[in-house]
A and B are shown apart, each in its own frame.
Chain A
Amino acid sequence: MKSKTLIAACMVLATVFFMSCDAFMDHDFKDYKESYKDIAGVWQLKSVSRNGIDISNSMNFSQFRLNLNEDGTYTLENYLPFAVKGNGNWNVDDPQYPYNLTLRETSGNEVTIGLKYPIVNGKRIISITLSPGCYSNTYIYVFEKIENN
């Protein structure tokens, strides 16, 4: 009786084992490609830190918006000190791994800024480090994407 139970258990295990072998094929990994980051959209300024200290509650920063349009143009709404002053065109260095955002004002002035693009609390954010005033002051602007309804 005991040996029958043992044989049955072994058969079940063997079945599971052999079935599981084919679950992932090498080509599945080879075919994997990092997705293109959909950076285009309306980005709202959510938090600001100054020299490492969060000053988000010190004044109303949330009206500032960076609109990165699908057609490659950008506009700034309710302007606050930023890397550029005017509207223009934008692009990233790599659509799969965007590390730098280049903003080219219509006046011709071009600024490239470092970009972090993590997912925080299930939402994609953009984090930009800049010094619009005195060079010794570093600000981190964190933008959150406003989803279209």
Chain B
Amino acid sequence: MKNIFKNKKKSRLISLFVTIAFVVFLIGCVYIDSVSILQIQEDGTTQAPIAKAGSIATFTLKGHIICKEDHGDVQFIVSFLAPKSWNVRQNATVTYTTTLATNPDEELKMSVVPESSLPKNGGGRTWGEALMQDYGVGPNVLSDMEWVTFSTDDKWAIYNGDKPDYTIYIRTNVGYQNLKAYLGFFVNHTDDGLSPTDTDHKKIKFSDTPFEVVGGKGLLIDYSSEHFNKVQPLASLQDDFVTFSFNGGVFQNDLISSNEIYFEGTAYDDNGNIIAQVNEKTDKTLLKRESSFDQIYSLTMWPASFFNVPEGQVIKKIDYVFTNKDRSIMITQSDDDFAVEGKPITGEKNPFVFELLCE
């Protein structure tokens, strides 16, 4: 009796092991060979990781698969990390070519994976949520970015020994906001669906250099490098809750030694007229340290209330600085330019500027 039970247990374990092995070696390995974010510039010949605001940029991802098991009905996945303002879900067109196809030069369609279609092994999270939790925004320092996932419209049969190549083209409008950000690319397939234990079936790559949008609206938003200041969410209006942060740990500065760090700001309307100036040194303007592990101090505000905006008036931009209680030390945009780019400070210091835009 005992032996029968033992044998049953043994055979269950063997079948479990076989099942796991089958799943692991279902496809084999997926590779990303290269990512290109270069765009042809206005002269028609030069290539650079720069696009004009409002234009359509093409990002190209090349890779291959080494298949170790026969399989049918699989859809290939690509996820793209980009600034939220690009609205990739609405604006992007994604196609691919593959040597698996009868015509390897034909561009085939990929479509956005709806939120309701969860990855098989994503633990109940959507593709976007899981990628953001697992990989974040990569080398970027601002979080107003999103992962948008696309799957091949066609389902593929792929067999042991197949070594197909693929090229994915992501064409999207880069919006009108001037910005600079690293872009992220992720590949996987529906049968793996973000399996947490395996890296053979998924690969991730961020662009080696930041991608830049120029000639658009507003001041440059730099997602790609650390600065003294940070504002979240980047797309905000006066009825949002907006967080202004001072990152005192990124560059040498005297303000970080102060016991109390304050926010001083001036709100302007569309015509450049001052709506209100807040420079009191009270709890209202005092920044709170986010955690004991870093030196980031933040203040979250509802701008309409913080600046006591009269009914009918609208804040268009906020000039602000971080300072200590007696205003003897100030961190401004000029200090940031000096720290980041080595730009010398001449004359009066310029404040940080936050434009309230919603695009």
Contacts and interface: CB of A to CB of B under 8 A. Distances in A.
A55 B237 contact: no
Interface in A132-149: 132-137, 139
Contacts of B301: 59
A81 B238 CA distance: 9
A79 to B, nearest CB: 8
A51 interface: yes
A136 B90 CA distance: 13
A48 interface: yes
A93 B43 CA distance: 60
Contacts of A80: 302, 305
A50 B241 contact: yes
Contacts of A58: 241, 243, 288, 298, 300
Interface string A3-33: 0000000000000000000000000000000
Nearest to B298: A58
Interface residues of A, number: 16
B249 interface: no
Interface in A45-95: 48, 50-52, 55, 58-59, 80-81
Q: Which of B233, B238, B298, B301 has the most CB of A within 10 A?
A: B233
Contacts of B243: 55, 58
Contacts of A59: 241, 300-302
B235 interface: yes
A133 B239 contact: yes
Q: Which of A52, A55, A59 has the most CB of B within 10 A?
A: A59
B84 A81 contact: no
A81 B303 CA distance: 10
A136 B241 contact: no
Given A58-B298, A59-B301, A134 B241 contact: no
Contacts of B200: none
Given A50-B233, A50-B241, A134 B358 contact: yes
Interface string A110-133: 000000000000000000000011
A111 B340 CA distance: 47
B337 interface: no
A134 B298 contact: no
Given A55-B243, A81-B239, A134 B233 contact: yes
A148 to B, nearest CB: 30
Q: Which of B84, B240, B304, B305 has the most CB of A within 10 A?
A: B240
Contact of B233 (A48, A51, A81, A132): A51
Given A48-B241, A81-B241, A133 B300 contact: no
A144 to B, nearest CB: 19
Given A51-B233, A55-B300, A134-B236, A139 B84 contact: no
Contacts of A137: 233, 235-236, 240
B241 to A, nearest CB: 6
B235 A134 contact: yes
Given A81-B302, A133-B358, A137-B233, A55 B241 contact: yes
Contact of A133 (B85, B129, B238): B238
A78 to B, nearest CB: 10
Interface of A: 48, 50-52, 55, 58-59, 80-81, 132-137, 139
11 contacts: A48-B241, A58-B243, A58-B298, A59-B301, A81-B302, A81-B304, A133-B239, A134-B236, A135-B358, A136-B235, A136-B358
Among all A-B residue pairs, the 9 with the closest Cβ atoms? A133-B240, A134-B358, A58-B300, A133-B239, A133-B237, A81-B239, A132-B239, A59-B300, A134-B237
Interface of B: 84-85, 129, 233, 235-241, 243, 288, 298, 300-302, 304-305, 358
